[in-house]
């Protein structure tokens, strides 16, 4: 890591900054002035460590997220929400999932349907692999209407497949463009290799990281400068596994794309299988988003939001400070 950091304070303005990690790229003890946009990478990790041993600051500001990452991140917020909700609108047009190429009604893996009970009452019945669940009020039948997913979860809220498709396909293009932009940036700037890819050391510590997360113990001090191993795996998984998977399975549902790239049908096991994988990938995104937002709140909401808005993240060094005293 040390060789990535520019030595000294006199780094010239036009210096290449590709060598610098996205995280912990710049760090300075508090208080400090707001950096200007053209601020160069003057401080180094070595400098701060020296400074800390001298003055033992309690909090330190770290330049955590660079502008392209911040832009791409915030674009994803409306894009993903709309894609998920318009996707549920599209799902509602045929609320069942299958494997293979055909959608044989008696072979569904999952279905969400309104069913009239013997007493004439309509119940929402969700069937997963043959097991039936009464999900009235949320799935199948809610607020007096026969929606698989309820109106509050779909765009538009009323049943309107044509409009749901328009929203979905428009924002799908935005997702692809944003994804290509981010991927190109992350590869060229080495954000992927330096910050996102887990190291061997990371992976060996995975057991401890899982235990820590389960008791809501989060990294502080020096450890909080970097993404922890679970964070890295989650980000890499979402960015480079789930996102490509959801785009490719989406494309596999296109009869035209299937003629151009017939192997798509082969690798995903058929058009209906691709639709099922698309749906599972969608809910993987939903799960990721829920955990992500919960972690953002638990680990210092305003600090996290600020770092994704301005780039600057505050790291607290309570324990190190104590150690120095001892």
Partner 1 sequence: MKHERAMERRQFLKGTLGVASLVALAGCDNLSQSSWFPSILSKTEKLTERVQRAITPTNALAKEYGDADISKVFPANGNTDPGTEIYAEHVAKNFSEWMVEVGGLVQTPMSWSLAALKELPARTQITRHDCVEGWSAIGKWTGVPLGDLIRRVTPLPNAKFAVFHCADVDEEGVSYYESMALVDCYHPQTILAYEMNDNPLDIPHGAPLRLRFERQLGYKHAKYVRQIELVETLAGIAGGKGGYWEDQGYEWYAGI
Chain residues binding partner 1 by CB under 8 A are 81-82, 85, 90-91, 93-94, 96, 101-105, 152, 155-158, 160-163, 165-167, 169-170, 173, 251, 253-260, 262, 265, 271-272, 275, 297, 301
**Residues 275, 102: contact at Cβ < 8 Å?**
no
Separation between Cα atoms, residue 45 and residue 128, nearest integer Å: 53
Minimum gap (Å) between residue 325 Cβ and partner 1: 24
Minimum gap (Å) between residue 195 Cβ and partner 1: 27
Q: Which is nearer to partner 1, 102 or 217 (CB)?
A: 102
| Residue that is written with structure tokens 């808005």 in the block | 309
Minimum gap (Å) between residue 58 Cβ and partner 1: 16
Minimum gap (Å) between residue 86 Cβ and partner 1: 9
Q: Which is nearer to partner 1, 54 or 169 (CB)?
A: 169
Q: Which is nearer to partner 1, 40 or 258 (CB)?
A: 258
Burial 286-319 (b: 16+ CB within 10 A, else e): eebbeeeeebbeeebeebbebbeebbbbbbbbee
CA angle 231–234–235, rounded 5-degree value: 85
Separation between Cα atoms, residue 213 and residue 292, nearest integer Å: 12
Q: Which is nearer to partner 1, 24 or 148 (CB)?
A: 148
**Residues 65, 296: contact at Cβ < 8 Å?**
no
Minimum gap (Å) between residue 238 Cβ and partner 1: 21
Q: Which is nearer to partner 1, 5 or 82 (CB)?
A: 82
Omega prior to 28 cis, within 30 of 0:
no
Provide φ and ψ at 188, rounded to 5°: -65, -40
| DSSP state, residue 20 | S
Minimum gap (Å) between residue 118 Cβ and partner 1: 26
**Residues 285, 235: contact at Cβ < 8 Å?**
no
Q: Which is nearer to partner 1, 36 or 259 (CB)?
A: 259
């Amino acid at each position: 890591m040390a060789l990535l950091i520019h030595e000294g304070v006199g780094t010239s303005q036009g210096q290449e900054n590709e060598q610098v990690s996205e995280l912990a790229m710049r760090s300075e003890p508090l208080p400090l002035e707001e950096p200007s946009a053209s601020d160069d990478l003057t401080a180094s990790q070595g400098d701060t460590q020296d400074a800390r041993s001298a003055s033992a600051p309690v909090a330190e500001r770290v330049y955590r997220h660079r502008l392209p990452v911040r832009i791409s991140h915030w674009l994803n917020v409306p894009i993903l929400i709309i894609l998920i909700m318009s996707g549920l609108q599209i799902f509602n047009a045929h609320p069942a999932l299958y494997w293979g190429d055909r959608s044989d009604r008696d072979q569904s893996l999952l279905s969400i349907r309104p069913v009239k009970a013997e007493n004439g009452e309509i119940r929402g019945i969700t069937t997963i692999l043959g097991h039936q669940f009464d999900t009235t009020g949320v799935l199948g039948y809610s607020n007096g209407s026969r929606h698989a997913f309820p109106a509050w979860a779909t765009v538009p809220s009323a049943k309107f497949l044509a409009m749901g498709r328009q929203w979905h396909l428009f924002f799908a293009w935005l997702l692809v463009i944003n994804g290509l932009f981010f991927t190109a940036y992350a590869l060229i700037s080495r954000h992927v290799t330096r910050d996102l890819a887990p190291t061997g050391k990371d992976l060996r510590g995975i057991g401890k990281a899982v235990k820590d997360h389960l008791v809501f113990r989060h990294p502080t001090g020096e450890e909080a400068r970097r993404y922890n191993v679970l964070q890295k795996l989650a980000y890499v998984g979402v960015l480079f596994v789930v996102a490509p998977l959801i785009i490719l399975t989406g494309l596999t549902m296109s009869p035209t794309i299937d003629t151009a790239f017939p192997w798509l049908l082969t690798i995903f096991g058929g058009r209906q299988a691709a639709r099922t994988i698309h749906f599972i990938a969608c809910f993987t995104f939903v799960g990721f988003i829920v955990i992500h937002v919960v972690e953002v709140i638990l680990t210092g909401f305003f600090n996290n939001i600020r770092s994704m808005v301005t780039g600057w993240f505050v790291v607290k060094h309570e324990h190190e400070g104590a150690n120095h005293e001892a």
